[in-house]
Amino acid sequence: MARTALGEFEHLILLAVLRLGDEAYGVTIIDELENRTGREISQAATYIGLKRLRDKGLLTSHLADPSPERGERARRYFEVTKFGLERLRDSANALFSMWEGLDPELRKHGG
């Protein structure tokens, strides 16, 4: 099956899950994304992104025990799969090579 492209937001989610390690579940992922990107992230967008990544086999998940501050609802923790890591590495490499040598140029424009 052909590889479908990895969207920017999906890319960000994968990185957030990676950064959070064992603590990666819906709330912390959104916090991480919001803190680092400065954007407001909706729950729905995150839900869709996580679902797509799972469908593509880039993420796995497991449910943890319910907790009272969540209205006795379980948490779903995420983990990046081996395939996910590969894809991330590929995109990172592609991006790095595209960025190479551009930095001073961009700084000049960005002020």
Report the residue from 20, 56, 60, 76 that binds another protein according to the rule CB under 8 A: 76
Q: Helices (H) and strands (E) in the chain — how many of each?
A: 5, 2
CA distance 31 to 10: 15
Report the residue from 36, 37, 74, 94 that binds another protein according to the rule CB under 8 A: 74
CA distance 87 to 96: 14
Residue 5 within binding range of another protein, rule CB under 8 A? no
Binding segment for another protein (CB under 8 A), chosen from 12-20, 25-33, 79-87, 98-106, is: 25-33
CA torsion 7-85-28-65 (nearest 10°) is 120
Residue 57 within binding range of another protein, rule CB under 8 A? no
DSSP letter (8 states) at residue 58? S
Residue 39 within binding range of another protein, rule CB under 8 A? no
Residues in contact with another protein by CB under 8 A are 1, 25-27, 30, 42-45, 47-48, 51, 55, 63, 66, 68-71, 73-76
